Copies of this chain bind each other. A is one copy, B any other.
Amino acid sequence: MALTESLADIGEFGLIERIHGLLKEIGVKAPGVSLGIGDDAASFQPRSGYEFLITCDSLIEGRHYLPHHTEPLNLGRRAMAVNISDIGAMGGHPLYAVVSMGLKPETLVAHVEDMYRGFIQELNPFQASIIGGNFTGSQHTVFIDITLIGEVKRENIMLRSSARAGDTILVTGYPGQAAAGLLLLKKVKAAEDMHAHPLVKAYNVPKHRAKEGRAIALSRKANAMIDTSDGFLADLGHICKDSRLGAVLIQEKLPISPELKKVAFELEIDPYHLFLGESDDYELIVTCPPENVPHVRSAVQSVGQVPVHEVGRITDTIGDIQWVHADGTKRPVNLQGWDHFKR
């Protein structure tokens, strides 16, 4: 019975009660919340010396996820991880989430609960919590829109606009894994067998690097930082544009994993295209003076085992991103990042 129960059966207020109960049961209570869910607004108090960061991101059915390929729990984790990534890329610590969902009348209550379990699974490690939200009926499309607030000390905020010419460009992890995983899922019909594949896992449950981002910010050894939410090249482009600088990339230094190489070969796709383009990996691009590279590395190692690779350097040629080869020759890199509307 409960497994087939839909929103049409229990209604908006019924759903609010259920989710409220779930949050009380398995969620944590973030510090500073003076009024949680249940009134026209929630309220929270700042810690002395800190300011707040705010970001929002949404996932839309059919656009950002394939309902038949993505379990609700993983969808919840993904939606929250995307936002946590943004707070981490600024050097902040996530605290308060507000979740707005558009749901269909036939949406299963159990699926909504699973999405919330996913949100909570991502928030609990930070002692962060959901303090408000909204459910709305949406006839055609399910969407999840999350606003996440974090805290940071002013002097630790990491910007995309403060790279300097000569900076080394570092990247965490292996960008492109999730893009390759998505391609695999789309090609293969019997998706069930694929869930254990590392690339499919990278797509289904994207990692964020918020702990790493915060550690880098606290080290104060980096000049600029951004997450790869628009794809590696587009986000490196944001650093260059907003810092009024350029960049060179060393192709053979880009961390392309063996799994990615294998799948790219099998699907006859350029592995560098997967690395540079849109991919749900949420790694960090960091720029720092060359002499600070070891410090940034040890900041990242202090919180986990995520690899850090040097992939190029920032130049003073405004807005220009080039491949540079061992013999010194250059050629432009011009893959477009993800754009939600462009034809």
Q: For this complex, into which size category does the number of interface residues on chain A fall?
A: 35 or more
Q: Which residues of chain A from 114 to 165 have a CB within 8 Å of any chain B CB?
A: 131-141, 143, 145, 147, 149-150, 152, 154, 157, 159-161
Closest chain B residue to A138, Cβ basis? B60
Does A41 lie within 8 Å of B55, measured CB to CB? yes
User: How many copies of this chain does the complex contain?
Assistant: 2
Instruction: Say whether A39 faces chain B, with CB atoms less than 8 Å apart.
Output: yes
Q: How far is the CB of A255 from chain B (nearest CB, A)?
A: 22
Please, what's the 1-or-0 string for A50-73, where 1 marks a CB less than 8 Å from any CB in chain B? 011111111010111000000000
Asked whether, in the complex, the Cβ of A100 is within 8 Å of the Cβ of B139, the reply is: no
Across the interface, do B53 and A242 meet the contact criterion of CB distance under 8 Å?
Answer: no
Q: Is the CB of A44 within 8 A of B40?
A: no
CA–CA, A145 to B92, complex, Å?
Answer: 24
27 sampled A-B residue pairs with Cβ under 8 A: A6-B341, A8-B342, A12-B340, A12-B342, A34-B157, A39-B242, A40-B86, A40-B87, A40-B229, A41-B55, A41-B92, A43-B54, A43-B152, A44-B52, A44-B54, A45-B52, A46-B51, A54-B98, A54-B131, A56-B145, A57-B134, A58-B136, A63-B138, A100-B147, A105-B343, A139-B141, A147-B147
